Amino acid sequence: MNDDRLPSVAPEVTATLVEDLSPRLRKRLDAAVTKIAARPKRRDGDTVTIEVDDETELRLHAPGGVVATTDAITCGCLLAPACVHRAAAACAAPAADLPPEQPVDRPTAKAPEPDPSPAPGSVTDPPPAPGSASDPAPAPDPASPPEVASPAQRAAADALWSAGAAVLEAGVDGAGAVTQSSLLRAAHSARLRHLPRAAAAALSVVTLLRAARAGDPSYRTADLVTALAELLSTAHRVGTASGAELAAVRGRARRPYSPDGSLRLYGLFTEPVITDSGHGGVRTWVAAPDGRLFTVGDVAPGGVGRALGTADRAVRLGESALTHRELGRAGLAVSGATASPDGRLGAGKGVKAVTARGAAWTEPPLAALWETPPSEQAARALRSTARYADPDGGGSDLIFLDVEILGAVAESGGSCLLARCSSGVLVRLTVADDDPALAHRDNVTLLAAAPGTRLRIIGRLVPAPHPRLTLLACSHPSGEGTIDLGFDRLRRADLPDPNAPVHPAPQRPGDFGAHAPLYLLERRVEQTVPAGRAALGLLGDITADAGRIRRGGLPTAAGLLTALCASAARRDRDLFGRLLPADTDGFASHWLAAARYTAAVAESLCEAAWEPAPERVA
């Protein structure tokens, strides 16, 4: 069977194969990776065969979908096993995630990543190993000093720092397979030393580097900036953290689920989940009477087609026969519930759930979700979506608003829906997913043609200098029922006046048009990632930019920009006038400080934008 997808390869396998290459073959590795990725492939059970040429075949044996040993990659060429083909195949394949038995957890991205694995406690879940994260942690002795990282953990963190700094030095264009293998080796060592958060950040960097070098259209430089800063920050904190902070820096291999007793849950809405890794499914949001939000998900490989089909499948939770879309409007009574810190409900065999009556958004207890001021909701959502927040922080990034639709407003990347919420703040509502198979785009377009419509909406916060949400669900324009905007399709007959003309929405330059001078530092931080340190070293005099930032009221940003560019341009010489190696660690420290500062200021500007102000009130 022809299949262009390669199986995942364990990081240590890729690192070992690259390290075993001779210096001559390492120089040819990047070209070999490109060649292998373009060659025909076929799958036969757990084995994928790549036709290197007319006479040579390369085989990857991946039981369970993962190549776990170097011997599982074999080549038929005359130079095997010392050939470049085996290492090239490993570098062309995606890096496998961390094994689940390690006591650590991957950091979440800006939006929560789906978890296709069974919930702890299910019939397919193996019993936890002694000393794993599933066991209750022993109570700390108040008299003992706080725990600090071991020498082995500090050494592993230093290796991760050096590998991340090398990526910044070289940039995307220079971070080829050899640089990536150093990151993978450091990630493997960190996993063995129980530093899974840093190891997962390194794997994310490798994945994004490969996407950038392959020209993947879904790649964004901002994502690689965030991943690199997370890697460097976590590696640095290992040596300085202690006690509870050290536990957060280490992370967890498994998402912990804890008992939550009996829960009475009320459905809110169902959203499609489509990931860049090819997974698809749904996530249904439910609320408890005390306002806590939970999710019930079903995500597995399959893309948008699986997302559309799963919405009408039964929820895998207890004895409930509800489908996901039905649960979004009904209720559940759950006993023996288990939940993770981010609100995911476990589906273990001890969980019992039966169908119960739901509640309208205008009825208690759901109506209380819309009574919290928008500024407080935005502050709460920012805490859960912060780019460098510690994992297991909990909280939700959803915003609940009563709005009046004002119409469409043009943006550089297209158009979006402008609305005024009850506090008078103007909010931009954007499409959650542009896939034409989903209903998001068509629904937002129809709503934009009905200015004056009043709706109760649920959206996901988008951190930006102005109030911005991705629109997920809304009340029906007629006032009867609700609309899951990813699945349900509005019709013109549903709108109050389908013949109403589209009026231009009010535009206040003070709200949306102005650029804070912070972007002068942000663009230098982002410029480093694709082009490397040398790109900043060639900028020359940046006094004008630093002065503009300082006049904008951001003296710290001006100092960080000056120090970053000076560090990039600094190259010392020895007594004979020869250039000494660049100070990659020093430059990485300056870059990390600038990246973390810009993220913190951007989040502060986002939070401030949600505060009602006289100029935003009609």
**Which of 92, 116, 132 finishes a domain?**
92
Q: What gap in Å lies between CA 7 and CA 48, rounded to an integer?
A: 8
Beta bridge partners of 460: 398, 470
Judge if 321 and 298 occupy the same domain.
Answer: yes
**Contact by Cβ (8 Å): 336, 259:** yes
Q: Is residue 118 part of a domain?
A: no
Judge if 388 and 495 occupy the same domain.
Answer: yes
Q: Are strands 426-431 and 468-475 parallel, antiparallel or unpaired?
A: parallel
State how many domains the chain has. 5
For residue 319, what are the CA distances in angstroms to 85, 108, 351? Answer: 51, 30, 9
Q: Is residue 196 part of a domain?
A: yes
Q: Residue 348: which region, alpha, beta or left (left: phi > 0; alpha: psi -120 to 50)?
A: beta
pLDDT reported for residue 418: 92
Q: Is residue 113 part of a domain?
A: no
Judge if 540 and 577 occupy the same domain.
Answer: yes
Judge if 300 and 194 occupy the same domain.
Answer: no
Q: What gap in Å lies between CA 324 and CA 10, rounded to an integer?
A: 35
Q: Is residue 499 part of a domain?
A: yes
Judge if 392 and 355 occupy the same domain.
Answer: no
Q: What range does the domain containing 158 cover?
A: 153-250
Judge if 337 and 402 occupy the same domain.
Answer: no
The DSSP output letter for 226 is H
Judge if 172 and 203 occupy the same domain.
Answer: yes
Beta bridge partners of 320: none
Q: Is residue 100 part of a domain?
A: no
Judge if 405 and 527 occupy the same domain.
Answer: no
Low-confidence ranges of the chain (pLDDT < 50): 100-139, 500-514, 615-618
pLDDT reported for residue 396: 84
Judge if 279 and 263 occupy the same domain.
Answer: yes
Q: With H, G, I as helix, E, B as strand and everything else as coil, classify residue 538.
A: coil
Q: What gap in Å lies between CA 585 and CA 199, rounded to an integer?
A: 19
For residue 242, the number of C-alpha atoms closer than 13 Å in the C-beta half-sphere is 6
**Which of 512, 547, 563 finishes a domain?**
512
The type of residue at 187 is A
Quote the strand ranges of 503-594, DSSP E. none
Q: What gap in Å lies between CA 419 and CA 471, rounded to an integer?
A: 11
Radius of gyration of the chain (CA): 26
Reported as a single tens digit per residue, the pLDDT across 377-420 is: 999 998 887 777 666 555 688 999 999 999 888 877 678 899 99
For 149, residues 6+ apart whose C-beta sits below 8 A from its C-beta are 157, 238, 239, 241, 246
**Contact by Cβ (8 Å): 118, 124:** yes
Q: Is residue 275 part of a domain?
A: yes
Q: What gap in Å lies between CA 404 and CA 419, rounded to an integer?
A: 5
**Which of 92, 124, 139 finishes a domain?**
92
CATH code where residue 424 lies: 2.40.50
Q: Is residue 550 part of a domain?
A: yes
pLDDT reported for residue 107: 33
Judge if 447 and 466 occupy the same domain.
Answer: yes
Judge if 504 and 599 occupy the same domain.
Answer: no
Q: What gap in Å lies between CA 22 and CA 26, rounded to an integer?
A: 6
Q: Residue 378: is it exposed, middle or buried by C-beta count within 10 angstroms (0-12/13-18/19+)?
A: buried
Q: Which residue has the tokens 């000093």?
A: 145
pLDDT reported for residue 205: 94
Q: Is residue 134 part of a domain?
A: no
Q: What gap in Å lies between CA 421 and CA 427, rounded to an integer?
A: 7
Considering only CA atoms, which of 80, 451, 390 is closest in space to residue 247? 390
Q: Are strands 426-431 and 414-421 parallel, antiparallel or unpaired?
A: antiparallel
| Phi, psi dihedral angles at 186 (to 5 degrees) | -65, -35
Q: Are strands 66-67 and 8-9 parallel, antiparallel or unpaired?
A: parallel
pTM of this prediction? 0.80
Q: What gap in Å lies between CA 351 and CA 258, rounded to an integer?
A: 12
Judge if 506 and 531 occupy the same domain.
Answer: no
